[in-house]
Structure formats: C-alpha cells, structure tokens
Structure 1
Amino acid sequence: MRAPLLELKSIRKTFPGVIALADVTFDLKAGEVHALVGENGAGKSTLLSVMNGLIAPDSGEIRIGGQPVVLSGPTVALAHRLALVHQELVLCPNLSVAENIFLGREPKARLGSANRMVLNRMAEELLAEVQVKLDPSRKVGELSLNERQIVEICRALASRPRVLVFDEPTASLNDDQVGHLLDIIRKLKASGLGIIYVSHRLGEVLDISDRVTVLRDGHVVGTREIAGLDETVLVSLMVGREHKPGQTAYRDRRRGAIALEAEAIGKSSIFDNVSLKVHAGEIVGIAGLLGCQREAVVRAIFGAAPIDRGEIRIRGKAAALRSPRDAIRSGIGFMPADRKGEGLVLPMNVGDNLGMAILRRLGRFGFMRGRQRTTKANELVRKLAIKISGLSQLASQLSGGNQQKIVIGKWIARGGDIVIAEDPTRGVDVGAKFEIWSTIQGLADEGKAVLLLTTELQEMMDACDRILVMSRGRVTGHFHRKDFSAEAIAHCFVA
C-alpha cells in the first residue's frame, strides 16, 4: 500500500498555560483534498505552522512519503515540496507581482541580474492558470487585498509542490474568483497533488474536499469522508453543540437623516460618477467583482486617497476629507479588511489597541490615564465578548475573530456616527461571524450609518438594508432589501 504524501502522528504543542495541540494525527494522500476545519482557537494555525516548519512540536512525528523528517524551517518544508498559501499575506510591497511570485527563484540574465522579460512571461503564465489578468510589472503595494491574495497563491504554485496547503485562500475573493480557484484546485488534485484546504466557508469545504478533519480546542474531534456530510453536521462537530441553519442577525429598524452622502465623486482614472447615500440606522453594501474599485471608493471617503471631483457631505455639510485624520474628525470610522496590517498594532497589547482611536481623550501631557483606559477597555471586552487572558495580552496572540472584535471595539470607543466596514468577517469562524454581524447590526440600532463591503454576496444580502453594485469604477445597480436577488445583483457585475 502506497504511503501517504504527508503524515503527522500524535503531534503535541503547548504554550505557557495553553495546550494548542493535543496528540493530533492527520494524513494526506496523493490526489486528494483534505480539509481542516474548526473554530478560531481550535489549533488549525498551530498545526499549519508545524507542517510548514515555523513551529517545532513538543512531541510526535512528521513523515513525508513514508520517511520521517524534521521540518526545521519553511525552507526545509519547501525543499520537501510542501508549500503554504498564507491567510495573512507575506508579500514585499515594493517589488513587482512577478518578483514576488518568483522571489529567490528569479531567472538570471548574463550578468546575474533578474531577466525581467522571462520573469514577466513566467508570471503571466501562472496568472493565466488562476484566470486573473494582472500586470506582472505592477508593484504589489499598489494592489487591492484581493489581488494580493492571487499573487500569494501564484507564488505557492510557482514552487511546483507535491503538497499544497491553502489557508483561507478565498477570504478576500468574490464568488466568481472563488469558483475559478476551486476549478484550479480540482486540476491540481487530478495531477496527483495532495491538497490541505483550510476554510471557514463550509460550502467550499463540502464542494472541494474528499475528507475533512475537525479540530476543537486542540483535539481532533474526527476525520470524516465528505460524502453524506452537510454544513449543519460540520458546524455541530466544530462547536460541540447543535447548529440551527439559516440564522441571521438582520433587524428591521427605522432609518434617520442622511449621515453620509457622495455625489458624483471620482478619482483620476480609477472610478467616476459614484453617488451614494447612507442614512443613520442603515446598513448599505457595495457589491462587485474583483477590480470594480469599490475598495478605492470607500478609502477615498475615508480620506486615504482623496477624490478629485464630486462632493462628499457629512450630515448635510460638504466635507474636505484630505486624510484619514480629517475623516476621523468628521466622525467616520474605518474597519479595514487587512486587520493585521492596517487595523491593529500586533506587538501592542489588547488594552492599547482598544484605546488607540481615543488617545487624545485618554491622554494628558502625553501620558495615558491608565485607570480610564482600563475601565473603557474592559467595558468593550465584555460588550463584544472578546476572549482574552487579560488586557496585557498581545493582539498577535489572539484568534482572527477576537482580533476583528478589537478592530470593531476601537471604533465603538471613538463614538463616530459613520462606520465603514471592509470585509469584517474575513477569515473568522461561523460562531465569531454571527457575533460580528450582530455587533454591526447593533451599531445600526444605535443610529450609526454603516457602509459595508464583503466578498460574500449572501452575507451582504443577509446584513444590508440596501445594496449598490459597482462595475469598472461605476455604479451599475441599486437594490432595496425587498428586491434583493443574487441573480439580479450578479447581472449588474458586468453591466
């Protein structure tokens, strides 16, 4: 009988006061997709770090092709043809798309420098595999989060691995791109690769996988064949209790006056003639495919890339939003999709991150008022049910769901009446998703105007009062809740 491509036997890993992995056993066969699921904090990230050589297990054994190996680092893992597509991007923003994809493996010209013509052609071929048109010479720092995720995927494919690990690869992709990626995974599987697929999108897990292993609190709950499973059973295994499908956090409410209004705004050649209104107590979504420029619109409203035509009005008055500082002073909060890169300061503790947006109020003569900060931070921890060991715990040590709650809490503390939420449930588990959506609904209940972006159209339809659709930098559709239809909205994606 042929040995599995990858075996992990009785892997155990502890951190001070925490058992991250308790005798975890997992295997992967050639030509299969084996999914790994669990709530945030279940141990998935630790297990992936062990596979990739980032963390050494306290005990247990790793075998590749039946032979015991010691993965002392990512380079060693890569030498064994095991590649990881990271959830949190590890790209170089000052390098081009092609340079990032082939970093360390660049084709050389005569004098030892990278052969850019060959490099760009190779990158174009890989991008064609994932059916995305990107200029290979473009700087990664200029790309949207969605586009950077595609570059990360291409970089892993460039190593031509035997084992390929996808860690939340679709968290920043829209439905169209998800479909393309799953098709690519099917082709890779048919070629004999072994694929480990980690995702909180359980519909994808059921669609693409052959087997699934469920982790809970560092333990393997079970490994099942996908045949015969459904989302209800999977969620119940993950959370340890019965899950009732079809839950939604949406609540109908009376809307107030217009809080945020954009009239025919434009930005160079990126977007043009975009108009929108968001009332107090209302959640308005902006839907669209990759490249529709909705991210550019909300960042312009937040002052990160100011408009050069049109007008933005806050509570009926024209606002010159030339920087994020101007937007914050006007009562706008922004929850970025890239919570680790833009929403948090990971080396800082929970208390300092929660107080970041109100430093001026909490400080006097340049020093923080410790008691006041602690009281406010503890209040937010209780309100948002953030799971921490204490306010001194580092933000980097928290699960994705708890990190996202801190980003939300930061803007709740600020107290502005307009909130821009960009993919607020990106990469968090089903339980944390429901809590986050409930919190966002609570912001609208309090009379805040919420402008929402999310890569999952169904989530947007579940959460919003109205949805605008964008395509190629312009608004192509406008839907009220009673008229929501996935087919009708999708039709406007290519209008």
Structure 2
Amino acid sequence: MEAPLLEVRNITRTFPGVIALSHVDFDVLAGEVHALVGENGAGKSTLLSIINGLLPPDSGEIKLSGQTVSLNGPAEAIAHRLAMVHQELVLCPNLSVAENIFLGREREATGRSGRRSDLMKMAQVILDEIKVDLDPATPVGELSLNEQQIVEICRALSSRPKVLVFDEPTASLDDNQVAHLLEIIIKLRDAGLGIVYVSHRLNEIFAVADRVTVLRDGRTVGTVATPDIDERGLVSLMVGRNYDPAVSSYKPRDFGEVALEVAGLGVHGVFDAVTFSVRKGEILGLAGLLGCQREAVVRSIFGALPATCGTIKVHGKQVRLTTPRGAIAQGISFMPADRKEEGLVLEMSVEDNLTLTVLDRIRRLGFVHPRMRRTWADRLIRQLSTKVSSPRQPVKNLSGGNQQKVVIGKWVAREGDIIIAEDPTRGVDIGAKAEIWTALQDLAASGRAIILITTELEEMLGACDRIVVMNRGRISGAFDRPDFDAEAIAHRFVN
C-alpha cells in the first residue's frame, strides 16, 4: 500500500499552562479530501501551524510522502510539497493576479527572465488548470472576495504541492461562491492531491470529504469515513455530548416601538434608496449576495460611511451620523465580521477589550479604576460563558469563538438600544455558534433592536423575525417570519 502523503503521529504541543495538543494522529492519502473538525480550542489551529512549519511540536513526528521531516517555516513546508490556503487572505491589492500568485518567486517562475509577459503566461497555465476565467493582469483589488480566494489557491498551487491545506476557506463567501470553491477542491482531489480541509460548516464536510478526523480538547477523538456518520453523530463527537443541530435558535418575542428607521438612504455610487425599520425586541436580517452593499448600508448607519442622501431616525428623532462616535452616542453598537482587524485590539487583554466601550463609566479622577474594570470584565465573561485562563490573558491567544464572544461582550457592556451584528458566527464552531445565537436572542428579548448580516441564509432563517433582501445596492424584497421561504428569498438575491 502506498504511504500517505502526510502523516502526523503522536504530536504533542504545550503552551504555558495549556496542553494544546496531546498525542494527535492524522494522515492524508493521495486523491483524498480529509476534513479536520472540532470546536474552537480543540487544537486545529495549533495542528495546522505545526504542519505548516510555523510551530515546532514538543514531541511526535511528521512524515511527507513517507519521509520524516522537521519543518522550520512555511518555506520548508513548500519545499516538501505542502502548501496552505489561509482563512485570512494575504494579498497585495495593488499588484496583479499573476504578481500575487508568484510573489517573491518571479524569477524562479519565469526561468530567471523576470519578464512580465512570461509571468502572465505562467499564471494563465495555473488558472487554466482549475478552469477559472480570470485575467492574470487584473489588479487583485478589483476582484470579488471569491476571486481573491481563487488567487490564494493559485498561489498555493504554483508551488506544485502534493498536499494542500485549506483553513476555513469559505468563512467569508456566500452560498454560490462556496459551491464554486468546492467544485475546485473536488477537481484538485481528482487530480491526485491530498487535501486537508478545515471548516465549521458541516454541510461542506459532507459535500467534499472522504474521511473526517475529530479533535476535542487537543486530542484525537476518532477518524471516520463520511458515509459512515451523519451530521448529528459528527457534532456529538465534536462536543462530547448528544446534540441536535436542527434545533432553531429562534424565540418568539413581543416587539416595542420603532428603534431605528432609514428612509431613502444612499451613498453616491454605492447604494441608493434603502428604506427599512427595526423595532425594539426585533431581529431584522439584511440578506443578499456579496457585493449587494448591505455591509455598506450598516456602516452608513454606524457613521463610518456617511450617507449622501436619505434620513436616519433613532427613536423617532432624525439624526445625522457622520462618525462612529456619533452613532455610539445615539445608542448604536456595531459588531464587525472581521474581529481581528476591526473588532478587537489583539495585543490587549480580554478585560481591556471588554471595557473599551465603557471607559467613561469606570474612570475615577480621569484614570481607569482597576477594580471596576475587573468587575465589569468578570461579569461579561460569565454572562457569555467565555473560556479564558484569566481576564488579563491577551485576547489574541483565545480561540476564534471566544474572541467573538469578547466582541459581543464589549457591546453588551455599552447597553446600546440598537445592535448591528455582522456575521457574528464567522469562523466559530457549532457549539460556540449556539451560544452566540442564544446571546443575541437574549439581547433581543431584553428590548434591543438587532440588525443581522450573515453569509449563511439558514442561520438567518433560524434567528430573524423579518428579512430584507438587497440586490445591487437596492432593496429587492422583504419577508415576515410566517412567509420565510429559502428559495423565494434566494430568488430575490438576483431578481
């Protein structure tokens, strides 16, 4: 029998006070998609960092094509024919598709000629291999998110790997873009590559994976062929208890007065004539494909993208919001999808991040009072069941799900009447998702008006009271909960 392309044997890795991985086993065969799943904090990110050479293991071994290797960085992993496509895109928007694909390896790719025309030809070869219609001369900054993701894949493929690792590649993609990406992954598998696929979206796992390995608390729970397990069984392995993923997070509520109303809102050249309202206690979903400009609408409401026409009313009073500070003063909170770039200060502690929005309430004589800060942070940590070793732990060291809870917690602390939640469960596991949806439902039940954006329509159907659909910068449909129909809503995405 041919040796696996990748073998991870008995890998252990510890950090101060934490066992991140303990005797983990994992392997990938040629022509196989092997999924790696587990809750946030299960050890997936640490394992991927070890496989990619970013972290050394404390013990255990890694074999590539049967050869034991010691990897001291991604360059060595690439030299051994292993490449990774990261969740967070790392591209240069001012450079072309071809220049991004071969960044740092231009002369190697062109036989040392370094000519731009040769670089374009080599990029076109890779694009043709996965049957993608992209112009290699196009600046990456002009591409859609889905197309940028494809450039990341092409960059990984340009090193001619035998093993390709995908880390949450669909976290920011809509359903149509996800389907396109999965088609590409299947083509790569059929070409004989070994694929490691990490995702919290279990429907993707069952769509492309041949086998799946479950990690829990840094240990290997087991490896199963996907035809031999269903979604409920897989989730139960992940969380260590029986779990029913079909349970809806929705809780019926009574609604109060209109908290926020926008009428004819627009930003020149971006979106136009957007009109909707949301009441106290209500969760309103803004649905649509990427590029429909719903993200621009909520940023306009938050004052980060000032409107050029239309009106915004908060509790019946017309306001002009030109800065986030002004929006916060009106009781508007914003939980951004990109927690690392916009939601958190990664170098600061958990308690510092949790209390950023309430510094005016924990000051004494112009200085932040340490005891008050700790009291606020402890309450929020308990309220959202956030797993931390200490409130003083750097927030960058938390799992993705717990980082997201800190983002939510700092706005819970502010106690604003209107909350904008943009992809609140992006990149978090199914257990943390359930806790986050419960937290948002509880906020609505307490009288907050919530505007929700998520790339997963199924999540929106499970959480919202109403859904407004956007298409090309305009409202294209609206649905009350009794009329929710996934097909009808999706139809409004493009019509």
Shorter-chain TM-score tier: over 0.9
The answer (yes or no) to whether the contact 1:101–1:123 under 8 Å persists in 2 is no
Q: How does 1:457-472 map to 2 (within 5 A)?
A: 457-472=457-472
Q: Which residue of 1 aligns with 2:287?
A: 287
- Distance in 1, Cα, partners of 2:135 & 2:336: 23
- Cα displacement string for residues 416-470 of structure 1 (whole angstroms, at most 9, x for unaligned residues): 1111101000111111000000000111111111010101100000000001111
* In the alignment, structure 1 residue 22 sits paired with structure 2 residue 22: yes
- Distance in 1, Cα, partners of 2:477 & 2:130: 31
Q: Which residue of 2 aligns with 1:85?
A: 85
Q: 1:228 deviation in Å?
A: 2.3
Q: Which residue of 2 aligns with 1:455?
A: 455
The answer (yes or no) to whether the contact 1:127–1:154 under 8 Å persists in 2 is no
Q: 1:248 deviation in Å?
A: 1.8
The answer (yes or no) to whether the contact 1:106–1:119 under 8 Å persists in 2 is no
Q: Which residue of 2 aligns with 1:413?
A: 413
Q: 1:387 deviation in Å?
A: 0.7
Question: What RMSD, in angstroms, separates the aligned Cα atoms of the two structures?
Answer: 2.5
Q: How does 1:250-329 map to 2 (within 5 A)?
A: 250-329=250-329
- Distance in 1, Cα, partners of 2:492 & 2:209: 31
SS in structure 2 opposite 1:7?
strand
Q: How does 1:46-65 map to 2 (within 5 A)?
A: 46-65=46-65
Alignment size in residue pairs: 494
Q: 1:111 deviation in Å?
A: 12
Q: Name which of structure 1's ranges 410-419 and 298-307 shifts more when overlaid on structure 2.
A: 298-307
**CA 1:291–1:136 in structure 2 vs 1: closer, same or farther (change >3 Å)?**
farther
Q: How does 1:350-369 map to 2 (within 5 A)?
A: 350-369=350-369
Q: Name which of structure 1's ranges 277-286 and 113-122 shifts more when overlaid on structure 2.
A: 113-122
The answer (yes or no) to whether the contact 1:54–1:73 under 8 Å persists in 2 is yes
Q: Which residue of 1 aligns with 2:155?
A: 155
The answer (yes or no) to whether the contact 2:126–2:157 under 8 Å persists in 1 is no
Q: Which residue of 1 aligns with 2:213?
A: 213
- Cα displacement string for residues 35-75 of structure 1 (whole angstroms, at most 9, x for unaligned residues): 00111111111100000000000111111111111110011
- Distance in 1, Cα, partners of 2:364 & 2:291: 45
SS in structure 1 opposite 2:7?
strand
AA aligned to 1:359 is: L
- Cα displacement string for residues 134-182 of structure 1 (whole angstroms, at most 9, x for unaligned residues): 9964464x87766654544443344342211111111111111111111
- Distance in 2, Cα, partners of 1:120 & 1:318: 56
**CA 1:185–1:411 in structure 2 vs 1: closer, same or farther (change >3 Å)?**
same
Q: How does 1:6-21 map to 2 (within 5 A)?
A: 6-21=6-21
The answer (yes or no) to whether the contact 2:101–2:123 under 8 Å persists in 1 is no
The answer (yes or no) to whether the contact 1:280–1:447 under 8 Å persists in 2 is yes
The answer (yes or no) to whether the contact 1:174–1:290 under 8 Å persists in 2 is yes
Q: Which residue of 2 aligns with 1:198?
A: 198
**CA 1:117–1:337 in structure 2 vs 1: closer, same or farther (change >3 Å)?**
farther
SS in structure 2 opposite 1:234?
helix
- Distance in 1, Cα, partners of 2:294 & 2:45: 31
SS in structure 2 opposite 1:178?
helix
SS in structure 1 opposite 2:228?
coil
Q: 1:362 deviation in Å?
A: 2.0
Query: Structure 1 length as normaliser, TM-score?
Result: 0.93
Q: Which residue of 1 aligns with 2:484?
A: 484
The answer (yes or no) to whether the contact 2:42–2:216 under 8 Å persists in 1 is yes
- Distance in 2, Cα, partners of 1:196 & 1:111: 32
**CA 1:396–1:287 in structure 2 vs 1: closer, same or farther (change >3 Å)?**
same
Q: 1:123 deviation in Å?
A: 7.3
- Distance in 1, Cα, partners of 2:397 & 2:116: 41
The answer (yes or no) to whether the contact 2:110–2:118 under 8 Å persists in 1 is no
The answer (yes or no) to whether the contact 2:123–2:136 under 8 Å persists in 1 is no
- Distance in 1, Cα, partners of 2:479 & 2:337: 24
AA aligned to 1:373 is: R
- Distance in 2, Cα, partners of 1:195 & 1:492: 35
Identity of aligned residues (%): 61
- Distance in 2, Cα, partners of 1:463 & 1:124: 45
* In the alignment, structure 1 residue 430 sits paired with structure 2 residue 430: yes
Q: Which residue of 2 aligns with 1:38?
A: 38
AA aligned to 1:38 is: G
Q: How does 1:334-345 map to 2 (within 5 A)?
A: 334-345=334-345
Q: Name which of structure 1's ranges 228-237 and 104-113 shifts more when overlaid on structure 2.
A: 104-113
* In the alignment, structure 1 residue 115 sits paired with structure 2 residue 134: no
- Distance in 1, Cα, partners of 2:277 & 2:408: 22
**CA 1:187–1:476 in structure 2 vs 1: closer, same or farther (change >3 Å)?**
same
The answer (yes or no) to whether the contact 1:130–1:181 under 8 Å persists in 2 is no
AA aligned to 1:465 is: D
AA aligned to 2:370 is: G
Structure 2: gaps of 5 or more residues: none
The answer (yes or no) to whether the contact 1:355–1:373 under 8 Å persists in 2 is yes
The answer (yes or no) to whether the contact 2:354–2:409 under 8 Å persists in 1 is yes
Q: 1:126 deviation in Å?
A: 3.6
- Distance in 2, Cα, partners of 1:149 & 1:27: 25
**CA 1:111–1:177 in structure 2 vs 1: closer, same or farther (change >3 Å)?**
closer
Q: Which residue of 1 aligns with 2:494?
A: 494
SS in structure 2 opposite 1:227?
helix
- Cα displacement string for residues 89-147 of structure 1 (whole angstroms, at most 9, x for unaligned residues): 3344665655444321347999988738955993797499586879964464x877666
Q: 1:320 deviation in Å?
A: 1.4
Q: Which residue of 2 aligns with 1:172?
A: 172
**CA 1:125–1:70 in structure 2 vs 1: closer, same or farther (change >3 Å)?**
closer
The answer (yes or no) to whether the contact 1:130–1:180 under 8 Å persists in 2 is no
The answer (yes or no) to whether the contact 1:131–1:180 under 8 Å persists in 2 is no
Q: Name which of structure 1's ranges 170-179 and 151-160 shifts more when overlaid on structure 2.
A: 151-160
- Distance in 2, Cα, partners of 1:127 & 1:443: 49
- Distance in 2, Cα, partners of 1:152 & 1:332: 36
- Distance in 1, Cα, partners of 2:327 & 2:6: 50
Structure 1: gaps of 5 or more residues: none
**CA 1:477–1:4 in structure 2 vs 1: closer, same or farther (change >3 Å)?**
same
